[in-house]
Amino acid sequence: MTIATIFIYVFYTYLIMGIIFAILFVAKGVDKVDENMHGTNWKLRLLLIPGLALLWPIMLKKLAANQSEIRNRKSEIQ
């Protein structure tokens, strides 16, 4: 197995994971990160998928940070 073959496998794995994350994020998570996206049209959400597929690690960190912030707020209220 050459280095180029390994690189291609890593790239395809990254891309497949990105597409899966993008679809799930557009369906459920985008409202949690950006409140202005609540109630937007599906066509607008569809436009987000290519960018999310490439930048999914950044958005995953943002989603995780947002979730921990929400948990902290809930614990302060109780």
Tens-digit pLDDT profile for residues 18-39 = 999 999 999 988 888 888 888 8
The pTM score is: 0.79
* Structural contact between residues 49 and 26, judged by C-beta atoms closer than 8 angstroms: yes
Residue type, 65: A
59 belongs to a structural domain? yes
Residue 76 within a domain: no
Question: CB-based contacts of 32: which residues, under 8 Å, 6+ apart?
Answer: 63, 66, 67, 70
Quick one: residue 17, left, alpha or beta (phi over 0 = left, psi -120 to 50 = alpha)? alpha
Question: Mind listing the pLDDT tens digit for each residue in 44-78?
Answer: 999 999 999 999 999 999 988 888 777 777 676 76
Tokens 């993008």 found at? 22
Note down the domain range covering 60: 3-71
- Please state the domain count of the chain: 1
